[in-house]
């Protein structure tokens, strides 16, 4: 057994996050589950042997409050994500998925970077279909039932090499991982469409299988990489668009007011 680290998992009360939290705890790490709902969060924390920090990634205010409650964290696992069924703006005026999936992890990274040793970003292979228009996507003017999710995951993934470069002399590392196509509630829909999706998902791998490949990266050496399950893969060209990545980084710094 290696060194026990203090690992915070956002959205750790259900789905992939819960599987990751359970696996990290099983490996001897001190796990902190971040969850929006105190009741669900407390139940999950008891079952996996973790601590609970109640917080969410819905707004700048909420993320700053959450950062204040994450003291002495060695590893941050960004798992919480949103696949919206309609365009909704948060209290800051951002399309909610763009904020939760992209800006919130960016802000947490910047607020906690002096405390962290490692960041693991749970990603999605669907990023390859994503598009980001920095003038329209942040406010959801180009909202789409599928493309919005894919675009926000693309934007988030484009930040990984930039954070790796920023932190290279500070000893903080970051990697991203797509844990597989799994049977989760992400993207669930009501009505007939929802029934079709739920039926299709029964053919997918159970969510518990996401725990090991993500937990592997908690103690892995390396930075700026992308994995599909346990295999390192080169990022597709659209995720390596340098000018767009630089624009998204600069825009995030400006709207989030981080130095």
**Active site positions, annotated:** 149
List phi, psi (to 5°) of 203.
Answer: -85, -5
Do residues 86 and 144 lie in contact, with contact meaning Cβ atoms separated by under 8 Å? Answer: no
Q: What gap in Å lies between CA 195 and CA 175, rounded to an integer?
A: 35
Do residues 27 and 7 lie in contact, with contact meaning Cβ atoms separated by under 8 Å? Answer: no
Q: In what helix (H) or strand (E) does residue 94 lie, and over which residues does it extend?
A: none
Q: For the chain, what is the largest distance between any 2 Cα atoms, rounded to a whole number of angstroms?
A: 52
List phi, psi (to 5°) of 77.
Answer: -105, 110
CA nearest neighbour of 24 among 44, 42, 54? 44
Q: How many CB atoms lie within 10 A of CB 193?
A: 12
Structure tokens at 56: 């969410």
Q: In what helix (H) or strand (E) does residue 69 lie, and over which residues does it extend?
A: helix 60-69
Size of the chain, expressed as the number of residues it contains: 259
Three-class SS state of 237 = helix
């Amino acid at each position: 057994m290696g060194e026990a680290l203090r690992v915070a998992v956002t959205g750790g009360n259900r789905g992939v996050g819960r599987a990751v939290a359970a696996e990290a705890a099983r490996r001897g790490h001190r796990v902190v589950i971040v969850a929006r709902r105190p009741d669900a969060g407390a139940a999950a924390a008891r079952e996996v042997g973790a601590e609970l920090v109640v917080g969410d990634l819905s707004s700048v205010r909420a993320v700053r409050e959450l950062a204040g409650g994450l003291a002495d964290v060695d590893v941050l696992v960004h798992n919480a994500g949103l696949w919206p069924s309609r365009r909704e703006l948060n209290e800051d005026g951002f399309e909610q998925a763009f904020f939760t999936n992209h800006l919130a992890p960016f802000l947490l990274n910047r607020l906690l970077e002096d405390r962290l040793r490692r960041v693991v970003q749970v990603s999605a292979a669907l990023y390859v279909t994503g598009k980001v228009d920095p003038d329209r996507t942040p406010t959801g003017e180009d909202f789409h039932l599928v493309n919005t999710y894919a675009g926000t995951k693309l934007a988030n993934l484009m930040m990984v090499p930039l954070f790796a470069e920023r932190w290279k002399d500070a000893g903080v590392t970051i990697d991203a991982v797509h844990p597989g196509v799994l049977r989760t509630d992400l993207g669930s829909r009501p009505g007939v469409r929802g029934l079709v999706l739920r039926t299709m998902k029964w053919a997918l791998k159970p969510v518990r299988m996401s725990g090991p490949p993500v937990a592997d990266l908690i103690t892995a050496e390396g930075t700026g990489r992308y994995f599909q399950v346990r295999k390192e893969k080169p990022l597709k060209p659209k995720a390596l668009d340098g000018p767009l990545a630089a624009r998204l980084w600069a825009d995030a710094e400006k709207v989030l007011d981080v130095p």
